[in-house]
Structure 1
């Protein structure tokens, strides 16, 4: 027993070492959990006992109970297990992972695979690979390739190395997912005549043993639970993969129950919550690639249940939504969106070269994905080493439907209306001259950067125009001053600041500097921190509870934003969205607090706002974006600032300079029109000779001050310092990133508690010489206000929903009227149209749309 303890402690040391240096509070809890595991202080569990090592792989019940407020949630895989009577029937025989012994709906049979391998281009690639089979014993991808070559050729010389690697299987510490590959190797060599029955039994025992350990590690808290910054679901996938590949092994049914139960009760629901969007981190997504792989295993290994149909029918079709999200991450210049705001690796496309996404496209017949991959210069049929596995997934029928021009059409999609709240609007799809507008207003799930950017927007059009400021890797990631004071804060986003004296946020790490007290720093007017996040929840129900109920030991509430309305016209002429980000700020319902780790002292913030909503209407034909904000602070002296970040320097065309703080870097104007042409960027537009240009006109507040900040040495200026880091590397790195070199702050000239911000943003290029003519329209009772531009009028409720009579006048030429913020489903009498008086019912999202050729006076009267 002593020997077992020593071995286990050494193994677990890997876990703790892996987490050393993490600054995130949730991750610190996992360090504490690791220490408890090492110390052997966790009491044994009556539900999980598979070996003498159990004492070191037990669920940390006390740790999880700390994060509760009295409600009970599952903390073991056994508690989340699927009842045995609900288990689907397994495919008989092997291979059954990705390929079956007989024909099936979503893939090839073993005979079909071998027949396809004799056809081109696959036959040529197999011949090349078999001349010198890959042989790198420590590389999982190499072993997978060997196993595939064996499946295709039956060459027994390939098998010994695979057996050796299976017998060396162990948990892939701190993220999991290693056993997913091991199970595949075992399945593909299962029928090898060179494998003895004893070897086959030993390999099965090894897989079961490791799977049980993976379950215990996941329960211990080391896995980061449902949503992870490393890309879930590594550990549960290991458990399920083992259950799917094992036949009559004593642990097989239990592992299937645990894996399938956890996925259906938690993981699928969590992904459905976000509509398939991945609001986490970019290069941290490698383990996330396991998700389509384990689902493909499930589909191939099970009869009588089509898991793809189950996800589509019962879980909001989130899996195909995820495929669309991964495609939508890619801009027309073939770089990655930075809306997640973490790793800053624009060329690192997470969808490129990832073969298992073809399984989703095949399952749902998604021909757009084939066209998209060809646009990325990827071969759907396979290619060099590492891509041969696509021989299993390619569908000639789907590929044949991938029509030319399919990627140049408008694309508008909202992911996770009740979850992540991520919207993307494209006027020309992925065409090089297309516009991409992004908006985010949703729950706190997990973004590696901890970026506080609810109700933020981003714009790409012939280059990155409205961008995310700062960068995660500038200075010790979030541990340093760049991350703590700027990049993770709202000041780096395109959202709203409300400056409350004395407000604080948690410091990302010991290197933050400028501490107000140990662990806390000044909040630059932005949103509250949310420590910890969804990663600390083992079950999805616990996550939902923490959207509305605060943890007793960690200051955090996951409810940070809500999509109030979303509507797109059938003809794509407009898209309307409205988001409420009040909960993202310190507010009367919840304000962030912090408890010192050593002192035990508790610091508490005070509420500063009780309202911040943002509504946007994108008018696709004219490429105009109308933005309307409502902000109410609890003290009129607290300054509000509307933010927008740029790479190029914004010019103030018709405003008067009223103050210069730092010549050439910080100055203020009494209003004006902003013009910014793409520039000073590393990421070139699709056509560098034809970059994009942005115009911004502020119509409300009527009296405003525009503060412009930026340029060399002032890219991330806040509180008297440029927050790009103090090291020479950090100072030079900022010039090599498109991380926002300038920003504007639009503030009311007259302090008030309640303010409206009304902006017209026109998206053009160097051929666009000036801002289009724009007019502000207000109703007679001042309940509604809006913008008339390009033949379209958009009206908003000043304070929110309007349910009484509205009357307004429009000038000549205004034809299309879009009225929002009306009571949904209410029938209105619309007077003043060319047809006289019409009866129109407001949509489910509270909008009316009709045509009037001005000049005219319009009167909207709700029927009581």
Structure 2
């Protein structure tokens, strides 16, 4: 339906017109404002001081730094080109020197050409296009043609056609859009840099005029009708994770949409569903950041980094997003000029001073969110607190060939990492071990005859530091399997609910495994907040044969201690114990100690409740930190690759082995998070077992109690009870996202709406009408109507749709899905 409506709204053909130069990121109408920013102080004035310093160096030295580097954009060239526009607007009679320096370095234009790819220039055609647009007015007609005729050839790069072809790539493949350095490495279709070339050269009188129009028509017709439907389905989590995503599409897709907006006036950021990729992307980035160090979590192949200043100001401006604005303002310029390529020219141009920066906590964001497209669930104990607990649980389709097979995997952090994946930053191309599912916190079912892909890289790859990945009992290996356009179902979130007391998710992982060995596998993941915090993980595993061994894996950065006296198998590295009382370990930054913001360390306790007769093995330390599956004879060695020593450093894992002899087994684990000084786990008792339910009763030292039971058969189900009395609350059996938008109007953050909130709103509204948290009715600005609306809600309690999904709906007398005047 959405595609049909979009088709009607944007007919085929050239239904767009281009503005005058400059038109990429900057327009003529913006120049007076940019001049004011440059002459002013504060953040933006400081940004321009850096930009001008780089531009002055270009004028003085007549060189671009590291122009032959394929991994860095020639930011100094962009700074000189931007300074030309700003200084001209400021009335500087020497402004033309900046443009002249750029043209002098370009020389005869061959630097801009494809023919000079490996000589000088390294194919920075996206950046050349931006600079061409910005100094357009300084060029004569002959110069425009000279430089443009060299630059225009890039429209045929890789595809041999000036249009979007998706050649050896799909819409959700990073190389289709191009890398963030806007040049040739890992660039196939290269949609973003080619779009910049077409927008810069169109109408400039070059030999590539028809190619420019052809590419722009292709963009205009294909993005809304072909691409956005996938962006709607995928949602805010880039399909290849922040690893390959951060390398390109997380940055260059917003850049492309912004370049099109400024050149044509068409704001395509507003197209698509409410969870379209661009609209939900900032939510993902923020939820992905781990409280103790603000680094993005090591999910899939993510390396933990993120250059937020390169896209946050655009998202903040286009969506009036206070949290994106906050991230943009947090960018630290202290590393300049050593990191000259990070000069914040994008923030200087696109920052919207009308959007007031706010933290997620100040905006009342809910403490959990399900990203439905990716099947990612993020949860935490609090916002704006480096000591907060954070966790991830995920199960969803594979949209891209780089996606690793990690369905049902989870991570936990508090004052460091408590649960992580195997360490290092190996690449899918050669590190088959880290690209396989054994590196994640999953259940394996070992069939000694199962056939796996991706067991041995080529001899060349192995010689360069690649690793093998023998039979590991894990999931079907879908990395690089199939075509770029294929969406491979492998697991799905079947239930989700977030409340102030807990966040609950259930996933069916059956499709992730080979049907020859698995007939059912599900995982339920329950995070309990409170005086003490607990994670309860319940796995139902039914194999096709009773003699297939089943293991439950957990990767941890700190060395665990098994309660009691475990049996030493390999001194200092491998120990086992039959049904230990618990296992405990401390949090650890996993190699990121220089970035830690939290204080102290947390302690985790893990108890295996089911199966009753298990063998728990701890394995790790140097030489044993990338070990093969314990049941595969050919894998009994350490699988170390050339990138295994990089962060994260995760040298230990736990292996919980179920007793053999049963086709169907249940793993029930309770993981408690406590203080570093804690010496014992809270009491965990098995509830009376029957054929229908499996459950536990958890009692803290202070007498707090919670009981959890899970269904043994059928669709994943369960129930929870707090305090040991009264009836059980059923756990959600379907996806309910009404609780993840936060409680609008809860100004005192006590988890409920009251007269005190209305009074606070009235008082604060006198001082700051623009404060977004005061906008109760959602009309974009505070007014007395927000106060009366809040009072109306408090009195009627049935008038609003759970405040657009407030987690406190039940306590306020609302039922999920109740309709009314939702703000």
TM norm structure 1? 0.69
For residue 290 of structure 2, give the secondary structure of its aligned residue in structure 1.
coil
Aligned to 2:707: 793
2:173 aligned residue (190, 213, 228):
228
Aligned to 2:493: 563
1:466 aligned residue (378, 394, 419):
419
Aligned to 1:60: none
User: Within 1, Cα distance between the matches of 2:98 and 2:475?
Assistant: 57
> 1:410 offset after TM fit, Å?
5.3
2:231 is the counterpart of 1:271: yes
Instruction: Provide the alpha-carbon RMSD of the alignment.
Output: 4.1
2:43 is the counterpart of 1:118: no
2:106 is the counterpart of 1:146: no
> 1:687 offset after TM fit, Å?
6.5
Following TM superposition, the consecutive aligned residue runs of length 4 or more in structure 1 with deviations greater than 6 angstroms are 217-222, 381-385, 512-515, 808-812, 847-851
User: Within 2, Cα distance between the matches of 1:396 and 1:296?
Assistant: 17
1:705-744 aligned within 5 A = 705-718=615-628, 719=632, 723-725=637-639, 734=645, 737-744=647-654
Distance 1:814 1:150, change over 3 A: farther
User: Within 1, Cα distance between the matches of 2:720 and 2:428?
Assistant: 52
1:241 aligned residue (185, 193, 196):
196
The C-alpha deviation readout for 1:575-610, integer Å capped at 9, x for no partner, is 1111122111111xxxxxxxxxxxxxxxxxxx1102
Aligned to 2:676: 766
Aligned to 2:25: 98
User: Within 1, Cα distance between the matches of 2:80 and 2:96?
Assistant: 11
Query: Which structure 2 segments of 5+ residues have no match?
Result: 1-6, 68-72, 89-94, 179-186, 204-208, 737-801, 812-823
- Say whether the 8 Å CA contact 1:503–1:522 is kept in structure 2: no
Distance 1:574 1:201, change over 3 A: same
1:92-491 aligned within 5 A = 92-102=19-29, 109-120=30-41, 121-122=45-46, 124-125=49-50, 128-129=53-54, 131-133=56-58, 135-137=62-64, 138=67, 140-154=74-88, 155-163=95-103, 165=106, 168-170=111-113, 178-192=124-138, 195-213=139-157, 215-216=159-160, 224-228=169-173, 232-233=177-178, 235-248=190-203, 249-280=209-240, 284=244, 285-288=246-249, 289-303=251-265, 305-311=266-272, 314=273, 316-334=275-293, 336-342=295-301, 345-346=303-304, 349-352=305-308, 354-375=309-330, 377=332, 386-398=343-355, 400-402=356-358, 406=362, 411-415=367-371, 417-418=372-373, 420-446=374-400, 448=402, 451-473=404-426, 477=427, 483-484=431-432, 486-491=433-438
For residue 112 of structure 2, give the secondary structure of its aligned residue in structure 1.
coil
User: Within 2, Cα distance between the matches of 1:823 and 1:395?
Assistant: 40
- Say whether the 8 Å CA contact 2:24–2:130 is kept in structure 1: yes
> 1:328 offset after TM fit, Å?
3.2
Distance 1:151 1:117, change over 3 A: same
Aligned to 1:608: 517
For residue 472 of structure 2, give the secondary structure of its aligned residue in structure 1.
coil
Distance 1:421 1:126, change over 3 A: closer
Aligned to 1:19: none
- Say whether the 8 Å CA contact 1:372–1:407 is kept in structure 2: no
Distance 1:748 1:464, change over 3 A: same
> 1:767 offset after TM fit, Å?
3.5
- Say whether the 8 Å CA contact 1:580–1:613 is kept in structure 2: yes
Aligned to 1:36: none
- Say whether the 8 Å CA contact 1:90–1:302 is kept in structure 2: yes
2:471 aligned residue (523, 526, 541):
523
1:570-609 aligned within 5 A = 572-587=500-515, 607-609=516-518
> 1:405 offset after TM fit, Å?
5.5
> 1:512 offset after TM fit, Å?
9.8
- Say whether the 8 Å CA contact 2:293–2:597 is kept in structure 1: no
For residue 182 of structure 1, give the secondary structure of its aligned residue in structure 2.
helix
User: Within 1, Cα distance between the matches of 2:129 and 2:176?
Assistant: 20
Distance 1:329 1:820, change over 3 A: closer
For residue 130 of structure 2, give the secondary structure of its aligned residue in structure 1.
helix
Aligned to 2:3: none
- Say whether the 8 Å CA contact 1:237–1:294 is kept in structure 2: yes
> 1:666 offset after TM fit, Å?
2.3
- Say whether the 8 Å CA contact 1:795–1:819 is kept in structure 2: no
Deviates more, 1:385-394 or 1:778-787: 778-787
- Say whether the 8 Å CA contact 1:229–1:446 is kept in structure 2: no
User: Within 2, Cα distance between the matches of 1:209 and 1:84?
Assistant: 29
For residue 160 of structure 2, give the secondary structure of its aligned residue in structure 1.
helix
1:45-56 aligned within 5 A = none
User: Within 1, Cα distance between the matches of 2:506 and 2:148?
Assistant: 54
The C-alpha deviation readout for 1:351-402, integer Å capped at 9, x for no partner, is 34x42331111111121123334555469x999872244221222222x342
- Say whether the 8 Å CA contact 2:24–2:263 is kept in structure 1: yes
2:583 aligned residue (674, 693, 716):
674
Distance 1:523 1:401, change over 3 A: same
- Say whether the 8 Å CA contact 1:271–1:277 is kept in structure 2: no
